[in-house]
Amino acid sequence: MANWSYKAEKFDTIIKKMEKIMSKVVLVTGATSGFGRETVKMFAKDGCKIIAIGRREERLKELKEELNECDIHTISLDVRDKKEVFLAIENLPLEYRNIDILVNSAGLALGLEKAPDALLEDWEVMIDTNIKGLLYITKAVTPIMVKRKSGYIFNIGSIAGNWPYEGANVYGSTKAFVQQFSLNLRTDLKGTNIRVSNIEPGFSKTEFSNVRFKGDDKKANAIYDGIQPLVGEDIANLIFTLSKLPLHVNVNTLEVMPIAQTWAGFALERDC
């Protein structure tokens, strides 16, 4: 009897080891907050091995502690640092190297001033993060997927990439880039089995507005008064669901808004 339970235990250990080897590797940027953080949690709880990237070390530590049963490799990294991005991917621990899913969530908006009053420095930070940072990560990770002829890249675009609104100027333009890049990337990856989806969320409650209003939390919180926004979990859930679709199905773009949000229409200025 004792011998049987010993054998069953050993079998269980082997199965667990196999599951670990077989489990998917998911790399998430922007893992310290909002959509990225919830995406990490969802995939980690599904048994995936996670590479979580963000600048705030304390947040990464907290995430690792919260998911202490899961396999999480954290990297404190500024996606604008080209050299560091490539080094980080090159030096991944062996068991995290075969990245199956990439979620490019790191990004931000800075300011809501109209173009003439906006700060050029804010524009530069948005371009460097939302466009160049996303490109560095994608360029570093894609060859791994191409080599294995499999993978899924999720880019987080925005409704702001589709619809202009006052003060969105460069932020919206960076997201229009992300949309067009996603479509072109998919075109270039024809024949590799790599899927690419551009997720385009609308009004959502994360730390996005706190960052946009540069730490003015009162102003940031006020915009959610009386409105039920999307939350990080909603977007994580969509990413997770798409990742489970049959391998021959590619959702190119997915625009999603809370039910409370619609369009404002065109504006006309009379006698100008």
Compare residues 33 and 158 and give the one whose CB is closer to ligand 8X3: 158
Q: How far is the CB of 11 from ligand NDP (least distance, A)?
A: 41
- What is the C-alpha separation between 181 and 187, in angstroms, rounded? 10
Give the three-class secondary structure for 172.
helix
Q: Which amino acid is at 219?
A: K
Compare residues 111 and 151 and give the one whose CB is closer to ligand 8X3: 111
Compare residues 155 and 243 and give the one whose CB is closer to ligand NDP: 155
Residue 168, contacted partner among ligand NDP, ligand 8X3, none, CB below 5-8 A by kind: ligand 8X3
Q: How far is the CB of 80 from ligand NDP (least distance, A)?
A: 5
Among 23, 33, 169, 173, binds ligand NDP (CB under 6 A): 33
- What is the C-alpha separation between 209 and 183, in angstroms, rounded? 28
Using the 8-state DSSP alphabet, how is residue 242 labeled? Answer: H
Site string for ligand NDP, 145-164 (x = CB under 6 A): -----------x-x------
Give the three-class secondary structure for 151.
strand
Q: What is the DSSP string of 91-144?
A: T--GGG-SEEEEEE----------TTTS-HHHHHHHIIIIIIIHHHHHHHHHHH
Among 111, 133, 151, 172, binds ligand NDP (CB under 6 A): 133
- What is the C-alpha separation between 267 and 159, in angstroms, rounded? 18
Report the site for ligand NDP in 39-78 (rule: CB under 6 A). 54-56, 59, 78
CB 118 within 8 A of CB 64: no
Among 206, 213, 220, 239, binds ligand NDP (CB under 6 A): 206
171 catalytically annotated: yes
Q: What is the DSSP string of 20-39?
A: HHHSPEEEEESTTSHHHHHH
Q: How far is the CB of 39 from ligand NDP (least distance, A)?
A: 9
Among 23, 39, 74, 105, binds ligand NDP (CB under 6 A): 105
Where along the sequence are the contacts to ligand NDP (CB under 6 A)? 29-36, 54-56, 59, 78-80, 105-108, 129, 133, 156, 158, 201, 203-204, 206-208, 211
- Which sequence positions are flagged as catalytic? 171
